[in-house]
Structure 1
Amino acid sequence: MAENVRTMKCRPEDVFRVLANGWLYPAWVVGASRMRDVDASWPQSGAELHHSVGVWPALLDDTTVVEEWSPPNRMVIRARGWPIGEARVTLRVRSYDGGSMVRIDEEPVKGPATLLPALVTAPLLRLRNAETLHRLAYLAEGHAD
């Protein structure tokens, strides 16, 4: 499992305001390139985002589904990125030193990526998720809706 932590100069509610807006997903998730649709029930459990991954012209359409939505502290999603597979991504947010501490954990749960040892996948996921948290911080600290 890959784990990343970042402090942000905003409240946990500001982080969850970004997470609650499914249309912002490609703005903070590295690899997601565009949104095609967002379920009206987003971000409730079972709701889906319909997004594309990759870079044009090599785009693949896929989905991400909410497994748990507990603002302002926890969100769990299952992100699909076939043909690589699926990953469970857990975001934990807590108040910290006048702002927030955000932790993201990601682990492959289905598909070819599960066959690779964590020694290979974890460093790559940590690099990607460091940038993901960096982008999320820009949006949350800037009060993006």
Structure 2
Amino acid sequence: MAVRHRVIKADPAVVWEVLADGNRYAEWVVGTGDSRPRSGRWPRKDASLTYEIRLGPVRLNNQTVVRHCREGSLLELEIIAGLLGTARFSIELREWGEDCLVLVDEHPLRGAGAAVHNVGVEALIQLRHRSMLARLARCCEETAARHREPAAREASGAEGTGRA
């Protein structure tokens, strides 16, 4: 099973905010083109997104369906990739001091992906996860910085009005 983790320098609520925005899915999932809602309300159970996967010149239309959601801490997805089959993808968030420990776990369920799953494929999934977690960290840390900006401006403005 391809399990990987990363500490992201953001509050778990900020990380969840990014995960819960289906329009941002393509920002952090490697190889994914523009994502858009397909059905339901992301990330509620059975909601789905549709997007394009690019593999060199090949373009595949895929979808991801929420199979389980524990708001703020766990998102379990089924990735439906046509002839390639389906995979389970789980993202768990844990408080880690002031930061967030993100654990991802992916394994094939059905189809060609499950039939050819081996150590080599597992290594490729690990590389993809490393890149994906780096992209997720960047998204979350930028979002956290934007959240801090208004508070910092407000604090500096309040200090400035107290001086005469």
Residue aligning to 2:134: 134
Greater per-residue strand proportion = 1
The number of equivalent residue pairs is: 145
Residue aligning to 1:17: 17
Give the whole-Å Cα distance in 2 for the aligned partners of 1:11 and 1:118: 35
Give the whole-Å Cα distance in 1 for the aligned partners of 2:97 and 2:116: 38
Residues 26 and 32, structure 2, Cα contact 8 Å, conserved in 1: yes
User: What is the CA RMSD across the aligned residues, in angstroms?
Assistant: 1.8
Residue aligning to 1:89: 89
Residues 87 and 108, structure 2, Cα contact 8 Å, conserved in 1: yes
* TM-score between the two structures when normalised by the length of structure 1: 0.91
Greater per-residue helix proportion = 2
Say whether 1:50 aligns with 2:42. Answer: no
Query: Greater CA deviation, 121-130 or 75-84?
Result: 75-84
Gaps of 5+ in 2: 147-164
**Considering only CA atoms, is the larger Rg found in Structure 1 or Structure 2?**
2
Give the 5 Å matches for 1:34-113.
34-54=34-54, 58-113=58-113
Query: Greater CA deviation, 67-76 or 78-87?
Result: 78-87
Query: Greater CA deviation, 25-34 or 99-108?
Result: 25-34
Query: Greater CA deviation, 101-110 or 51-60?
Result: 51-60
The AA in structure 2 aligned to 1:91 is: I
Query: Greater CA deviation, 26-35 or 114-123?
Result: 114-123
Higher relative contact order (CA 8 A, sep 6+): 1
Give the whole-Å Cα distance in 1 for the aligned partners of 2:135 and 2:119: 25
Gaps of 5+ in 1: none
- Percent identity (aligned): 30
